[in-house]
Structure 1
Amino acid sequence: MEKKTHDSAQRVARGARSVTVAVIISRLLGLVREQVLAALFGATSQMDAFVVAYRIPNLLRDLFAEGALGMAFTKVFSHYREKEGTERAFKVASEALTTFGLLVLLVVILGEILAPQIVGLLAPDFKNFVGKFELTVLLTRIMSPFLFFISLAAVLAGMLNSLGVFFWPAFSSALFNATSILVGLVLYFLFRFLGYPGVIGMALGVLLGGAMQAAFNWPFLRAKGFRFSPVLAPRSPAVREILKLMGPSVIGLSAVQINIFLNTYFATSCGEGAVSWLAYAFRLMYVPLGLFGVGLSLALLPEASRQAARNDIELLKNTYVSSLLVGLSLSLPSAVGLAILAKPIVRLIFEHGQFSPEDTLNTAQALSLFALGLPAYGISKVTVPVFYALGNTLIPALGSFLAVGLNLTVVLLTLPYLNFKAVALGTAVALLGQAIFLMGFFCYKVKGLPFKKFFLGFLKLLIEAGVMGGLAFLLKEKLPVLLSILLCGMFFLAEVKLLGPEEGLLFWKIKLMKRSR
């Protein structure tokens, strides 16, 4: 059992590594995109409008892309491939692509029609600023079709992950960022020349970037033998199974969207620039999420689905705990580093052009609070795929509603004192409560976990991250921030090498291994 657990953990870590290399490229390009936006717009009305308009298709993106549809499809596709072979799984993919593609197109059309009403609900205070509400509506209509492209990309990526291909689908998001930057900049200057707001060009860049991301995955699937053939089959067993898995997830993810809605609503009421400061801070927190959350989640779901299909629950439990420790070995030091070095990081990346020192201070304060929830987010990203593998999507849904309640409570209690920072604090507390809830129910469902292994590993990582944080504090004003980050990272890895746990280094070990079948 121990050898199986170790091999399984290494497969997950290897898959996560493959994803992470690509995601790091994407996150770096994403930061470049945010740098461009910060330099061009700072924390102005145009940037606030862009953030809210971009957030609207992203509210549904979590349902139809990385969230309910993507995870449910990957689970069903992996199951059919394990039980009935690749050819049958490809047929299931054609049915799902046709059926859900039409559904998403319908949602996009409704979004175009109802854009004023949606913006009115999400950011009513924008009506108090001349032209801000109308600009947000226009940008929303431009970027709404992005939902279709990103949903298609998520399904295609799920297929490739199940077939053992992790790097290229993750790299497609880098193409999205590169396209949105290059096309956006060209169109920015074109629209400025024509007398229109330059932010319209950046919105069109997002749309074309989404199309590029979806198109990039097709050649890799063709190389694996997949040939798409339109099959509208809403009553097929596979489509019905995906819908069955999606049902509770849609309810749960709707809670996530309520959280985002509430955060946006409160942020828009905190004055000019608040929406932008929170968006910039969350983008920075999103970089380390790519180091562990995205990679581990995508790599763990196919592995856990195979183990669940074989009913090997003991191996699944051990794989889960090992994956948690791998994730925490990345998220804990990242959280400590972001919290302590927030101001110099923000200054280095964003304080150019229209982005002022005041913007740096406000963004850094939000980032320090967001970072508190980073380890909890990592735990949830590892736990939710295991529930999906077991065919249980109700518990993640309930966890999402718990997060809504915690977030709303914290924001309402602290908003008069913390202003926009209350949103960041509410998010962190909500993530922590959700993670504890999910871990507790998973332990109950599988009748216990190897807790000694988990708590001993967690305690070591917590102490090691704390010691590293002391070093970061000492170096903060003495060295350039990039050098401080590098030295702290090397110091933390040396601690893990010396004291353990073993899983803390699995992510960084590059070994040639046979792929699991």
Structure 2
Amino acid sequence: MQTPSKNTIAKSAATVGIAVMCSRVLGLVREQVFAGLFGAGYTYDAFVVAFRIPNLLRDLFGEGALSAAFVTVFSAYDTNRSQEDTWRLASNVLNFILVVLSAITLLGIVFAGPLVSLLAPDFSLIAGKTALTIQLTRIMLPFLVVISLSAVVMGVLNTKGRFFVPAIASSFFNLGSVIGGTGLAFILPHFGQPAIVGMAVGTLIGGLLQLGIQLPTLFKTGFRYRPIFDITDPGLHRILKLMIPATIGLSATQINIFINTNFASSCAEGSVSWLYYAFRLVQLPIGVFGVALSIATLPLLARQAAKKDIPEMKKTMVSSLTMVFALTLPATAGLIVLAEPIIRLIFEHGAFTAADTLATAQTLALYSIGLFAYSANKVLVPAFYALDKTRYPVIASFMAIIFNVIIIKLTIDHFQHLAIAFSTSCTMLINFIFLMIVLHKNLNGLSLVYLGKSLVKILAATAVLTGLLWFAMPCFARWLHGSVLGQGAALCVLITSATLLYCLVLHLLKLSEMNILTTMLRKKLFPTSR
């Protein structure tokens, strides 16, 4: 049955999905540049660990926890309070974030040495690796401030129904990183600095572009900046109250990545890079599907929670989860079957070797197992913020961290870096099951019968897609191991054919969410078509 919630979510998700797709594709170009220039090893291992620190802090204090908490409170203000109060809250939060995170950044710069030693202690066994990582960390830490301000602006725009600009903004981050970073990577060695330092500076350039591109749209919504710094503001207090548990609740993956990096640094050289390249690739469907649906769903859930409309919240959650499954389960199958040719096409150039391709492909296949759970969690967790039940994501986070450490310790000696990818997927699955059970109880029952029937249809269509790829791949073996043009053409044919067959099967099985999504995407891509 087609409902307003389904249409609203699908329309917003289609808008965000297209923008995020552009960003993720540019992100892959960025990773291709890194792979071609630095390969997988000493230099890129140092960059990955250095970027982990502001990235971890970003999820702890910025995009993740802050964005979810801010949208929840800002939506309530936008629904129940005056415009003056609403814009005053936005200015106050921006100023508060600027001051607090600037202080945290300065502390991080001062204590960069101990932070790097904690994250990657075995780097000290290789001459110069720790020192390079510390230098890169200090350069990239201010990224935390810029990206957190960008997250607040994104929250305002999403609440006001502006989804495309904040979603496309991360494309400008990737453009700044690639163009600015690559340019500096060729210039700085003439001044005695490693080329990788240019890529670190490029990260800051990209962050500034991501923030700056959203500002014109922000002012068009009616926002006017006010130099307010009121720590007694009840709206700010509510955001901080939500952020405290949300900081842990949304950061399970980043905390686990922190732990995983520590383990990976003790594995064979290149392990950190293999894991990073694979995780970046699996982020493509997570961003396009999981994050897009999360961004589209959160303002809707927040408004429904503000009105205490629980029946509509339940419909929104079931529709969102159905869409997540419909989009991510076929992506999981595709990434597992096509892992090696995808990695070969994207990364096997310059310093990136055939051995790196094999190691990264194996890692990608294991990460892909948890893709649907990872994406579903992106939709489930904001529902708890909307309901002001943030303690449950906290419990789920601690469970994920504990299970992650146990699984890695039991398997890392035998499977090395692959144990880390496998453990990440397992913990995401555990997290998903727990959150689903708790949300089902807190909403007095979701429509599990409808969700179950939809899942059966999706699994059937995914099986057909997998069968097609499995039997068709040998026919394209010559091209998949040939020139870059041949590899690209073969993958394009395989992926397009499998996608069309999957959509056809779901259409025949009458999965309404998929039909709504494809209709919305068609309208966005071809606005003049009827």
TM-score interval for Structure 1 and Structure 2 normalised by the shorter chain: over 0.9
Select the residue among 347, 357, 361 that pairs with 1:360: 357
Residues 339 and 371, structure 1, Cα contact 8 Å, conserved in 2: yes
Deviation at 1:97, TM superposition (A): 0.8
Is 1:423 matched with 2:431? no
2:286 pairs with 1:305? no
- Matched ranges for 1:248-259 at <5 A: 248-253=245-250, 255-259=252-256
Q: Give the aligned partner of residue 383 of structure 1.
A: 380
TM-score normalised by structure 1 residue count:
0.97
C-alpha contact 1:111 1:141 (8 A) present in aligned 2: yes
- Matched residues in 2 for 1:234 and 1:122: separation? 33
Check if 1:73 corresponds to 2:70: yes
For residues 116-160 of structure 1, the C-alpha deviation after alignment (integer angstroms, 9 at most, x for no partner) is: 000000001101111111000000000000000100000000000
Supply the distance in 2 between the matched residues of 1:18 and 1:263 (Cα, whole angstroms). 34
Gaps of at least 5 residues in structure 1 are: none
Match of 2:507 among 493, 497, 505: 497
Which residue matches 2:485?
A: none
The yes-or-no answer on 1:103 pairing with 2:100 is yes
Q: Which position in structure 1 is the counterpart of 2:390?
A: 393
1:291 aligns with 2:301: no
- 1:469 paired with 2:469, answer no
Measured against aligned partners, the alpha-carbon deviations of 1:199-243 in whole angstroms (never above 9, x if no partner) come to: 000000001110111111111011111011121111111000001
Deviation at 1:85, TM superposition (A): 3.5
2:24 paired with 1:27: yes
Matched-pair contact (CA < 8 Å) for 2:59–2:251: no
- Of residues 134-143 and 56-65 in structure 1, the stretch that sits farther from structure 2 once superposed is 56-65
Measure the CA separation in 2 of the matches of 1:148 and 1:100: 8
Is the CA contact (8 Å cut-off) linking 2:59 and 2:247 kept in structure 1? no
- Per-residue deviation at 1:279? 0.3
CA deviation after TM superposition for structure 1 residue 195, in Å: 3.5
Query: Which among 225, 228, 240 is matched to residue 228 of structure 1?
Result: 225
Letter in 2 for 1:498: L
Moved more, 499-508 or 273-282: 499-508
2:136 is the alignment partner of 1:139:
yes
Aligned-partner Cα distance in 1 for 2:130–2:474: 42
> Are 1:210 and 2:214 matched, yes or no?
no
- My pick for the range that moved more, 284-293 or 26-35, is 284-293
Which deviates more from structure 2 when the two are superposed, residues 144-153 or residues 382-391? Answer: 382-391
| SS across alignment from 2:445 | coil
Look up the equivalent residue of 2:372 and give its one-letter code. P
Opposite residue 112 of structure 1, the aligned amino acid is I
Find the residue that maps to 1:10 and give its secondary structure. helix
User: Structure 2 length normalisation: TM-score?
Assistant: 0.94
Q: CA deviation at 1:451?
A: 1.1
Tell me the equivalent position of 1:481: 491
Specify the code of the residue in structure 2 equivalent to 1:446.
L
State the secondary structure of the residue aligned to 1:430.
helix
Letter in 2 for 1:237: P
In the alignment, which residue of structure 2 is the partner of 1:197? 194
Deviation at 1:196, TM superposition (A): 2.3
Q: Mean alpha-carbon deviation: is it higher for 463-472 or for 300-309?
A: 463-472
CA contact (8 A) 1:179 1:208 kept: yes
**Partners of 1:213 and 1:422 in 2: CA distance:** 35
Contact 1:326 1:505 in 2 (8 A): no
Aligned to 1:243: 240
Letter in 2 for 1:506: I
Question: Letter of the aligned partner of 2:403 in structure 1?
Answer: L
Give the SS at the match of 2:71.
helix
C-alpha distance in 1 between matches for 2:14 and 2:252: 30
Matched-pair contact (CA < 8 Å) for 1:13–1:506: yes
Equivalent residue letter for 1:185: T
Letter in 2 for 1:292: F
* Counterpart residue number, 1:509: 519
Alpha-carbon shift at residue 512 of structure 1 (Å): 7.7
Identity between Structure 1 and Structure 2 (%): 45
CA distance in 2, matches of 1:447, 1:323: 18
Change (3 A) 1:255 1:25: closer
Contact kept? 1:336, 1:469, Cα under 8 Å: yes
Give the Cα–Cα distance (whole angstroms) in 2 for the partners of residues 338 and 23 of structure 1: 18
- Whether the 8 Å CA contact 2:60–2:248 is kept in 1: the answer is no
**What displacement does 1:265 show?**
0.4
Task: Check if 1:444 corresponds to 2:441.
Answer: yes
Cα shift readout 1:394-451 (whole Å, capped 9, x = no counterpart): 1111111111122111111111111100000000000000001001000011111111
Distance 1:477 1:61 in 2: 43
Q: Which amino acid aligns with 1:399?
A: A
